Amino acid sequence: MDTLFKNVQQQKQVPLSEKVAKQISDLIKERNIGTGDKLPNEFELAESLNVGRGTIREAVKLLVARNCLEIRRGKGTYVTEELGRVDDPLGFEYVSDKARLAEDLYEIRMQMEPWIAGLAARQIREEEKEELQRRCDAVEEQILAGVDHYEADNAFHKYIAECTHNSVLPEIIPIITYSVQLFTRYKDPALLKSTRQTHRAIADAICAHKSAEAEHYMQEHILGNLQNIEHLRETLNAADKG
Amino acid sequence: MDTLFKNVQQQKQVPLSEKVAKQISDLIKERNIGTGDKLPNEFELAESLNVGRGTIREAVKLLVARNCLEIRRGKGTYVTEELGRVDDPLGFEYVSDKARLAEDLYEIRMQMEPWIAGLAARQIREEEKEELQRRCDAVEEQILAGVDHYEADNAFHKYIAECTHNSVLPEIIPIITYSVQLFTRYKDPALLKSTRQTHRAIADAICAHKSAEAEHYMQEHILGNLQNIEHLRETLNAADKG
């Protein structure tokens, strides 16, 4: 009885479009519609889920907002490559104390990333080594060109996580490296130089399957950034007052 | 010139409702509208952002889908407590090989959670100890009552992360403990008994500020679960064939 009552209540609270969004997302799984594939059209969906086309349209909008579907104008609705992964999953954009956020993220990176680098050194495959060095090159080129290397930096750290062959780590990296973008704006020449050097040392150690070295250089790299946090805090405080 | 061209292109691709959603979310930050607070009504929003009410409605729907806003019928639109955090941020629901996912998550938990327990033992405040024990009791009660202890288990592990006073760790815990729900369905009496014992040992060690012990018992706890992974894989394989 209790459960029944709960179910009725829950059904009352969930809007129809939300329920249909769930049904569409189940359908994607059942029919094995993969990332990048086209979804059946509105008409077919309305028919197979037995709801109006307006409801389908609302449900599709929900799934677009959640990064599960994308509408390509004139072509139809497609399953995204990201399939439900969102850009800022923990809502960091809304955190007001960005300096504290950066400190907390660095505390986590300090624990996670040396371990990830060591794991990558043990697990990297022969055919991945060239790509790792290429991503290391990309960061270096952007630093030398004096442009913001945030995305290239993220791509480098993310690829190291991919070399671990743990399917979740590459998804966690963008979350914990969020703080990097708070730093790449400062063009402290000393930090930029040490970033280039330690990145290369990390890539070389991973490619040589030297896990202790990979771990050590990653530690050195993150510590270098950590030591700039005080500087960041001062700059942010100054910006708040300005 | 290059940047200008890029901006125009980007503006073309982003629908109006998406741009307005961004503006509303900026407005929330600027005006310091907190979680649980009411948003200005459609009319005011349309006026201050200089767009039609239909567009506001679309943008609000986007933000509802992203868990930033919630509509309370007859009351208005409110900022959610979660402020943009989503339930399944990495889209685990769509991963087909759940056994591999569980293994990958346990590899990460094995690295993260003992460290978190040790950190909690160093950072816990006097007034948090009672709550930690209470959450430990809650899991125990549910296990003894024979009901699914998934949520209580998550709440226990999450609270340990809160005791570290790192603002990000409590948000990462639900991601890496996702795999727990794959286990709590099996009522293996030996595993349930060891869960009760190690949970208590962890809580006691944290409250006594014994970080090495907290770390050790967390390791033991996660290892106990890991050893059940083989069993899980067999069960899932059997279910696939069934």
Say yes or no to pLDDT of A1 above 50.
Answer: no
The Cα of B93 is separated from the nearest Cα of chain A by a number of Å equal to: 9
Calculate mean pLDDT across residues B46-61: 90
Summarised one tens digit per residue, pLDDT across range B75-88 is 889 988 776 666 67
B88: which chain A residues are within 8 Å (Cβ-Cβ)?
Answer: 84
Q: Which helix (H) or strand (E) holds B78?
A: strand B76-79
The Cα of B52 is separated from the nearest Cα of chain A by a number of Å equal to: 19
Using CA atoms, how far apart are residues B42 and A13, in angstroms rounded to an integer?
22
Residue of B29, B94, B167 with shortest CB distance to A84: B94
Residues on B contacting A at a C-beta cutoff of 8 Å: 25, 28-29, 58, 61-62, 65-66, 68, 82-86, 88-91, 93-96, 100-101, 104-105, 107-108, 111-112, 115, 166-169, 171-172, 175-176
Interface predicted TM-score of the whole assembly (ipTM), two decimals:
0.74
| Six token digits for residue A242 | 């300005």
pTM, to two decimals: 0.75
Reduce the DSSP state of residue B92 to 3 states and report it.
helix
Assign 3-class secondary structure to chain A.
CHHHHHHHHHHHHCCHHHHHHHHHHHHHHHCCCCCCCECCCHHHHHHHHCCCHHHHHHHHHHHHHCCCEEEECCCEEEECCCCCCCCCCCCHHHCCCHHHHHHHHHHHHHHHHHHHHHHHHHHCCHHHHHHHHHHHHHHHHHHHHCCCCHHHHHHHHHHHHHCCCCCCHHHHHHHHCCCHHHHCCCCCHHHHHHHHHHHHHHHHHHHCCCHHHHHHHHHHHHHHHHCCHHHHHHHHHHHHHC
Mutate to test the interface with B, among A86, A112, A148 (most CBs of B within 10 A): A86
Summarised one tens digit per residue, pLDDT across range B138-186 is 999 999 998 888 889 989 999 999 999 999 999 898 888 876 666 556 6
Contact check, Cβ <8 Å, A90/B93? no
B105: which chain A residues are within 8 Å (Cβ-Cβ)?
Answer: 168
Give the count of beta carbons closer than 10 Å to the beta carbon of residue A169: 24
Mutate to test the interface with A, among B90, B111, B113 (most CBs of A within 10 A): B90
* Contact call for residues B137 and B149 (beta carbons, < 8 A): no
Say yes or no to pLDDT of A237 above 70.
Answer: no
- Confidence at A80, pLDDT banded by 50, 70, 90: confident
- Confidence at B12, pLDDT banded by 50, 70, 90: very low
Mutate to test the interface with B, among A167, A175, A215 (most CBs of B within 10 A): A167
| Long-range pairs for B87-90: beta carbons < 8 A, 24 or more residues apart | B88/A84, B88/B178, B89/A85, B89/A86, B89/A89, B89/A90, B89/B175, B90/A85, B90/A89, B90/A168, B90/A171, B90/A172, B90/B175
Asked which of A84-98, A112-126, A170-184 is least confident by mean pLDDT, the reply is A84-98
Place of tokens 């407005």: B27
Q: What is the pLDDT of residue A85?
A: 64
Residues on A contacting B at a C-beta cutoff of 8 Å: 25, 28-29, 58, 61-62, 65-66, 68, 82-86, 88-91, 93-96, 100-101, 104-105, 107-108, 111-112, 115, 166-169, 171-172, 175-176
Using CA atoms, how far apart are residues B88 and B93, in angstroms rounded to an integer?
7
Summarised one tens digit per residue, pLDDT across range B31-44 is 878 788 898 888 88
B100: which chain A residues are within 8 Å (Cβ-Cβ)?
Answer: 167
